[in-house]
Amino acid sequence: MKVHHLNCGTMAFGFVDHCLLVETPSSGLVLVDTGFGVTCVRNPRILGWTRRIVGPILREGETAVRQIEALGYDPVDVRHILLTHLDYDHTGGLADFPWATVHVHGPEHRASRQPTTVDRIRYRTEQLCGHGVNWRVNDLDGGEPWFGFDAVRDLDGLPSEILVVPLYGHSRGHVGIAVDTGDGWLLHAGDAYTEPHAIGTGPLTTASRAMHMITAHPSHPRAQLRNMRRLTDLVADHAEDVTVFCSHDSAAFARLALTSCK
């Protein structure tokens, strides 16, 4: 399967919003996360006050739907969207694909329906409920693990080469999305980590550890660090088989985007 790497939202501090467009043989185009959408660009207030912290540089040309058009595809061929989690910088483009089936992990979907105070800040009702999203909720069912991680397989309407890998911590139902390209696996780890070297070989600095504790959900204060350690082990033990990257690492995006051009 051919995978295109898209930056669907340049942000402050040099962050990107790394999304995937996957060409599948039988399920049409599959989008992993949506970044910021056209509505976000035209009406930034929909993002709430926290946009001043995230600092998105909103450009319509960076939205997923416009990039898909620029690649020569019809956006209607995006039949499925998989979300790592429901933060507004990952769901802002849902309204641009109202016909698509949107796959979300059960704990994350339930968190959005019964939000805590923290969740109300991160989940934007206008994005999740304002245009009749066609949700498909998936949950762990005791299936075969993936490189030692729990995995949700047999996603409705999707090929077996695409898996959901729970990585709780940043949010109550945060997941990674694994894609078997035929030349190795890609693991889009979402916001399981944000610092480029967080899953490297060296220990986290005190400042880095503090940053990741701040970005962790209060109900999972240590889960994010635990999953970062597990991802570090995955990279150390299976680097030839799995490429791991997160949503906001601009260096990883630049490196992987080159593969879209081959």
pTM for this model (two decimals): 0.93
All domains of the chain in start order, with CATH: 2-260 (3.60.15.10)
Distance between CA atoms of 28 and 86, rounded to whole angstroms? 23
CB 158 within 8 A of CB 103: yes
Q: Which residues contact 103 (CB under 8 A, 6 or more apart)?
A: 80, 81, 82, 83, 136, 138, 155, 156, 158, 164
| Tens digit of each residue's pLDDT, the chain (262 residues) | 899 999 999 998 889 999 999 999 999 999 999 999 999 999 999 888 888 888 999 999 999 999 999 999 999 999 999 999 999 999 999 999 999 999 999 999 999 999 888 888 888 877 787 668 899 999 998 889 999 999 999 999 999 999 999 999 999 999 999 999 999 999 999 999 987 777 875 556 555 556 566 566 776 768 888 998 999 999 999 999 999 999 999 999 999 998 775 5
* Number of Cβ within a 10 Å radius of residue 64: 31
HSE, side-chain direction, 13 A CA sphere, residue 87: 23
